[in-house]
Amino acid sequence: MSAPVRARVTVPGSKSLTNRALLLAALAERPSTLFAPLRSRDTLLMAAALRALGVGLTDGEDGSWQVVPAPLRAPAEVDCGLAGTVMRFVPPAAVLAEGEVRFDGDPRARERPMGTVLDALRALGADVAGDRLPFVVRGKGGLPGGAVTIDASASSQFVSGLLLSGARYDQGVTVRHAGQPVPSLPHIAMTMDVLRSVGVAVDDTEPDTWRVEPGPIQGRDWHVEPDLSNAAPFLAAAAATAGRVTVPGWPASTTQAGDGFRDILTRFGCAVDLTGDGLTVTGPDRLSGVDIDLHDVGELTPTVAALAVLGTETSYLRGIAHLRGHETDRLAALVAEITGLGGDAEELADGLVIRPRRLHGGTWHAYADHRMATAGAIVGLVVPGIEVDDIASTTKTIPDFPGMWAAMIAGESAPGRP
């Protein structure tokens, strides 16, 4: 085991908030400024998509983004990369352009489920050719909108994507969910919260139903919170090594799903302290096992699995069947990597069971998945000889993860670039 990690790590802005803010700013009535936005592959892809549609988006000297809305234009081509927020948030906005908007992305992106949101757009009056990437939205300068029922059990992004542009539809939009429970509900709560912040009338009082009234979207200044899910690997380093890590700027109140990591860490036996200085995690001498439902915080699963494999008791991670449709099939990938290093893990119908076993060194495969890569880095703090094969995949959401990780291990202040 490595020496206990002791560091202060400043984490860049939230991807989820940055991309929601960019899209709403593009559809607003007047210019907006995003302060401390995340600049990573996912957010740069969102910015490029909006520029392709005619939105003015310039860089401030302080790392901010200035967004000047304009009528959306076509023809245009949008590269979604592997960003779920781009492939699911931008098409509902692209219907407001006049002409063809073509969407494509990375090879794995072509496998990710898209039919739900594209069928919903058709039901609301859009002309869409295709059911997954690549596909074409033939914009008509607007959309009738109205009510639509979907099965969002594969991703909350299907709901959020429709809601974010809904105020610009003639009748607004009402999204009803019918099916198994929607995963990652905090992300829909975040969407409703940011819509309220720009003056949009919304209603989420009825279970599994979200209503956005038609009307103007206000421009505003956005001060983007640190990305709490991206903070998780650094806090996990304290848990794994019986160390101590502080992440400054942790909000006292937030809609980010990553805030749920605080409770998860206490279940592993960590001391967790939130003060005006930030969030400080102190790891225990021995990590406990956990039996936990991660349905609402599925993005944290690889990080939780990395701690579970280092624990002293069997862990059960439940409620995460939907992760089979993420950047990679995260359940299969985690089992493959853990067992490949001598561990004991197997898939459940809706999750994983991980049993303690001594691990050996070897290659941890990232599958071009940023959260798989950071999970391997956590395990590598404790197990000698582990090499993550594609640490560069972390640029999807963290601009300089290797530099921040190295600074943290060295006990230095590890600032995330804005």
Whether 253 has a binding-site annotation, put simply, is no
380 is in an annotated binding site: no
| Candidates 299, 327, 346, 412; catalytic one | 299
Q: Is 244 annotated as a binding residue?
A: no
Q: What is the dihedral of CA 359, 365, 370, 371, to 10 degrees?
A: -30
In the chain, the amino acid numbered 166 is: G
Rg (the chain; Cα; Å): 21
213 included as an active-site residue: no
417 in a labelled binding site: no
Strand 6-10 to strand 414-415: parallel, antiparallel, or no bridges (unpaired)? parallel
Q: Does 140 appear as a known binding residue? A: no
Q: 330 labelled as ligand-binding?
A: yes
73 among the known binding-site residues?
Answer: no
Could you give the CA distance from residue 366 to residue 372 in angstroms, rounded to a whole number?
5
40 annotated ligand binder: no
Q: Does 20 carry a binding-site annotation?
A: yes
Q: Is 327 annotated as a binding residue?
A: no
Taking the C-alpha atoms of residue 163 and residue 167, their distance in angstroms, rounded to an integer, is 8
Was 156 annotated as part of a binding site?
yes
Binding site residue list for phosphoenolpyruvate: 15, 84, 112, 157, 330, 371, 396
Binding site residue list: 15-16, 20, 84, 112, 155-157, 184, 299, 326, 330, 371, 396
Residues serving a catalytic function are: 299
Binding site residue list for 3-phosphoshikimate: 15-16, 20, 155-157, 184, 299, 326
